[in-house]
């Protein structure tokens, strides 16, 4: 069965046109949501904590800024876009006391609802809209007249209008210019975490780092190793994004294609896939969430250690040096 892709042709903006939307936060995703909604003709406020460094940025963008409490009190739709680890505390202290029946609480990721870290009253709508990409890209594509594909889901439909409202929100941020798929909070959360960990932010960077180390340890120039294992990744990923895996392989040399078939299965083995299944089981069972929350509560000591290790890795120094010598490379990498 083919999933339905909802686009501007099939999505009505009217369920949200007369409502006030409060975007809580003004970071990676939040700044793009707030500006895109505003530019779609919707009434938007930004909710920030007292003394937030983001206040000036939001005001410079022409947005009205309120405290989180006042934004929640005034708004009909509250989109919570601060970091996952901070959401439960802010929700309990500044949002929950001001949620009135019939309002909608929205998320860009299902983590805290799915894992039970936020419990909502039964008389409010709860939905998510998750653009599939970083906020800077969401904003850039919207300004260019396009958009990012996304997902939407409804966890609680108190008013009978939550699904239409979620779709209208997705249109407001520009996702339906490309298309959105319907999912559930469970599916969005677990697949998103798995994709980040096993492929996008865990698997691919680890593969890149190991490839770089292998070449340098074999005596090849670090700069050459960087080009072969880091720089060219974007070029291949762009081909996959535009044409799919088969299309990418059709666009490269026969030597590269043949080598990929021969060697890919030697690097990503059945054991690798078994490990991926273990990763997914940890996500599904809540073990990753427990680990993440424990590290966050302790001030992220484990993550800070890993950040330090990465900053000190030779691939970072080589890349930084090359980017200063190749201005075009520096500009393109910084923009994304």
Q: Which residues are catalytic?
A: 109
Burial class (CB in 10 A: 0-12, 13-18, 19+), 1: exposed
Nearest to 84 by CA among 17, 28, 157: 28
DSSP 48: E
| Pairing of the two strands 150-156 and 125-131 | antiparallel
128 close to 153: Cβ distance less than 8 angstroms: yes
Which residue intervals of the chain are DSSP H helices? 14-17, 30-39, 55-60, 68-74, 87-90, 111-114, 135-143, 162-172, 185-194, 203-217, 222-226, 232-251, 254-267, 270-284, 287-297, 301-311, 314-325, 327-335
* Dihedral, 235, 240, 243, 249 alpha carbons, nearest 10: 80
Nearest to 42 by CA among 22, 72, 68, 70: 22
Rounded CA gap, 67 and 81, in Å?
14
């Amino acid at each position: 069965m083919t999933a339905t892709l909802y686009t501007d042709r099939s999505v009505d903006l009217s369920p949200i046109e007369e409502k006030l939307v409060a975007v809580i936060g003004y970071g990676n995703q939040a700044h793009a949501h707030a500006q895109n909604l505003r530019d779609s003709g919707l009434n938007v406020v930004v909710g920030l904590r007292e003394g937030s460094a983001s206040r000036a940025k939001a005001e410079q963008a022409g947005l009205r800024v309120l405290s989180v409490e006042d934004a929640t009190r005034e708004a009909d739709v509250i989109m919570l876009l601060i970091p996952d680890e901070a959401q439960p505390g802010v929700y309990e202290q500044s949002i929950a006391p001001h949620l009135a029946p019939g309002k909608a609480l929205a998320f860009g990721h299902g983590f805290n609802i799915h894992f039970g870290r936020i419990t909502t009253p039964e008389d409010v709508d709860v939905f998510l809209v998750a653009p599939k990409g970083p906020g800077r890209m969401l904003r850039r594509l919207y300004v260019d007249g396009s958009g990012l594909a996304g997902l939407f889901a409804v966890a609680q439909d108190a008013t009978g209008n939550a699904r239409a409202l979620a779709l209208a929100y997705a249109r407001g941020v520009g996702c339906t210019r490309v298309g959105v798929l319907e999912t559930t909070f469970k599916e969005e959360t677990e697949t998103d975490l798995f994709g980040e960990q096993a492929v996008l932010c865990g698997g691919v960077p680890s593969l890149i780092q190991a490839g770089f180390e292998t070449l340098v340890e074999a005596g090849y120039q670090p700069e050459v190793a960087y080009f072969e294992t880091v720089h060219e990744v974007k070029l291949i990923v762009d081909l996959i994004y535009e044409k799919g895996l088969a299309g990418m392989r059709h666009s490269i040399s026969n030597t590269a294609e043949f080598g990929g078939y021969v060697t890919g299965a030697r690097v990503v083995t059945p054991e690798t896939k078994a490990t991926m299944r273990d990763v997914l089981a940890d996500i599904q069972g809540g073990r990753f969430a427990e680990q993440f929350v424990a590290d966050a509560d302790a001030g992220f000591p484990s993550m800070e250690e890993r950040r330090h290790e990465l900053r000190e890795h030779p691939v970072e120094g080589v890349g930084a040096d090359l980017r200063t010598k190749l201005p075009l490379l520096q500009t393109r990498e910084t923009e994304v």
